Structure 1
Amino acid sequence: MPRSTDNARTTAKEHARYGYADGTGIEVLHARFERHRFTPHAHDTWAIGAVLRGAKDSMTSARQPSIVQAGEVYAIAPHVAHAGMSIGDHGCEYVMLYVPDDEWRLQCDIHGVSPNAFSQPVTMRRAMAPFAQFAALSMQGSQHSSAWPDEWALLCEAVLGSMNDRNTSAPFSSIAADKRLRDARAYLQAFSSRNVSLDELAREASLSASELCRRFTAAFGLSPHRYQLVLRLKTAKHLLLEGMTPSAAAAATGFADQSHLGRHFKAVFGVTPGAVARRNSARTF
């Protein structure tokens, strides 16, 4: 279950918040520092960082600065010594994810990206909001534990998916004709009211998790996680149109709560679940 603590710094402008999810092993730090300087250290995990505002020196080298600017994502491999401090007069706000090596390598394999793709900072302004949202969820306690697999997969899609410029060697039609992929899609459709784990879906398709994700995305244009998310949102919409409350629809379709449903619902449909519930006779989707 996710646990969170709030470690407020002594100055009003500085803060550091910590979250952890037992099921994933991912630690999260959302911080804003002006004067704090980290002493040299190393982690057993990957440190995947996104600078939201300001700039910082990740200090991975004693010989030259490693500056990361706002809107950039970077990664420090396990056991690499580094320190860190804010640059400039206005401080630095950032999110840092501490991801186990096997999990980061699996996600990189799924998206066809080298684990070392972010050894130098990469500008990814569109990924800043997903990083901040993921961090915020990690701070909200155990009631959001069911949301972690979806949110982590979507964050990886936002970050790693945009790095993958590989072209599939097989034609779209031949990939989509693969019975294993059609079976996987049918399985998601049959269980659209709940979370289907990637491991469960991979077993159903008789493929490895990474191979399933690559081939499914090439065949249907959406990753398995996003395909399933859209299915669940469509199911929630129909429940709302039938008169169910947003909170009940969220529970019925496997979302952590009404807020979790609402964020994804508006991103796909452009309106909130409450708007649909209030106008449940207007079937305009």
Structure 2
Amino acid sequence: MENKKDWTRITQTSSKIERMEAFFSGYGFAPHRHDTYALGITLNGVHSFNYQKTMRHSLPGNAVVIHPDELHDGEAGTEAGFHYKILYIQPEIIQEIIGGNPLPFIPGGISSDQRIVSAISNMLISLDFQLDSLEEEDGIYDIAQALHSASQTGRQRRKLNYKAAELARQFMLDTSSAIVTMDQLEQISGTDRWSLSRDFRALFGTSPYRYLSLRRLDKAKRMIITGTALVDVAAACGFTDQSHMTHHFSKVYGLPPGRWADLMLRS
């Protein structure tokens, strides 16, 4: 049997989402976690991945819903490989729609709920064209509502301080290349560090430290894709050196930066 080559294709990233299409013939990517939702549709083959300590298998037509900061990997479930489309969306964008509720969580990471499948599919119909701004806004709203409606996180035991967590998040965005301390975040948010840490995780799906680290990696990806040398990327993004950046990059994306760049640039 001919071994098909792995490939990926990404669209021009908008300010709110990133869309990608990929095929993997076998092992796709190592265990990793990122602080975005990863929302995909399996098109062909079996998309297998470890999620919440269990091997999951997504069949054609299923939606894959990876919650922010959940460890997962990816591989082909059969010799035929697997083909899928996926989009990534920051949880703070979902928060703008669901209004300070806990982030929606879909148990198992796979859904056949037609509300979810339809909402995700509509955003991935064609990657050849950039989404119209209003089309994108409508699609994001539909996704947020579908996830919220289908989620089992409806019960909330304590009131979350969304304002304080959002103030801390905005401060980290503004100072992503500088050292940030919990003392600063306490002062900016007006709340104590432990309440802030709990609420930030519930509202944005990850810890303040990881949120800051991942914003630095976002910047690194943008620089790497333009061909900037990795040693220069590391220095510009606040990492100690190239090996430090490579270590964090591989943990988050499941691939070292050089391999990631090769896949992104392969036609």
Q: Structure 1-normalised TM-score?
A: 0.43
Q: Structure 2-normalised TM-score?
A: 0.45
